[in-house]
Amino acid sequence: MSAWHVRKEGSPDVLALPTAGEVLTGLRDGNFLPTDEVRGPTDMVWHAIEVHPTFAEAAQDIDPPPSEEADDTHLDMNPLIDVCLVLLIFFILTITYASLERALDVPPDSAEDKGIPQISKEELKDRVFKVIVKMDGERPVIKIEGKEVSQEQIFTEMQNVINATGRKEILLDIDKSVPWGVETAILDAAKGNKVHNIINNQRSR
């Protein structure tokens, strides 16, 4: 019995159909593509359905399969991540620099200072109160005039000492291993209490 044979382009799998009408029905139903190959009972070689004389006219009426449209809702996050990383690095550097600037905002000694008369211990005692910061293991120990305080209490304790003694200068003795954040908190508290001068036993970093 004569039959029509259909296969995907270049595929070894062949489907046999008894009539050309069934091939045409499969084409219209979308089971076959115009580019699929067909061979009729009298054909010696395979032909694409769209160029076979029996199906060429019908193949032209078949709408091509819809192409995939670009998804306009897709958001590429890579540029946003890059911008966020740059901003993060910028803010880290800015905050670190600002903290160091506050911590190191102590005028250096100049040649003119050598001619300043020395102050006696009694005069110094009447003008200066001590703030000592040492490390106890991993914990910084802050003492203001011998009284141990927490970092949150620095401002209030300075205010109490200034109000009680009238001293407006600080002798800051700070251990070199104390974190910068603690020293910055002390300097901020001194600034908030309008301390006139900070005599800083400055550690070297």
- Euclidean distance between CA atoms 26 and 146, whole angstroms: 97
SS3 83: helix
The DSSP bridge pattern shows strands 128-136 and 169-174 to be parallel
pLDDT of res. 103: 59
pLDDT of res. 87: 92
| Alpha helix ranges (H) inside the chain | 20-28, 56-60, 78-103, 121-127, 154-165, 180-192
Residues pairing with 48 in the sheet: 37
pLDDT of res. 166: 83
pLDDT of res. 13: 86
pLDDT of res. 85: 92
Q: What is the CA radius of gyration of the chain?
A: 44
* Residue in 96, 177, 192 with CA at minimum distance from that of residue 133: 177
* CATH fold for domain 120-201: Nucleotidyltransferase; domain 5 (3.30.420)
Tokens of 139: 């914990």
Residues recorded for the chain: 205
pLDDT of res. 161: 87
DSSP state of 176: T
* Each residue's pLDDT tens digit, 166-199: 888 888 888 888 888 888 888 888 888 888 777 7
* CB proximity list for 134: less than 8 A, separation 6 or greater: 140, 141, 143, 175, 178
- Euclidean distance between CA atoms 61 and 64, whole angstroms: 9
Q: Is 56 exposed, middle or buried (0-12, 13-18, 19+ CB in 10 A)?
A: middle
Q: Which residue numbers in the chain have pLDDT < 50?
A: 1, 204-205
Does the pTM exceed 0.85?
A: no
To which residue do tokens 């910055």 refer?
184
* CB proximity list for 147: less than 8 A, separation 6 or greater: 157
pLDDT of res. 101: 64
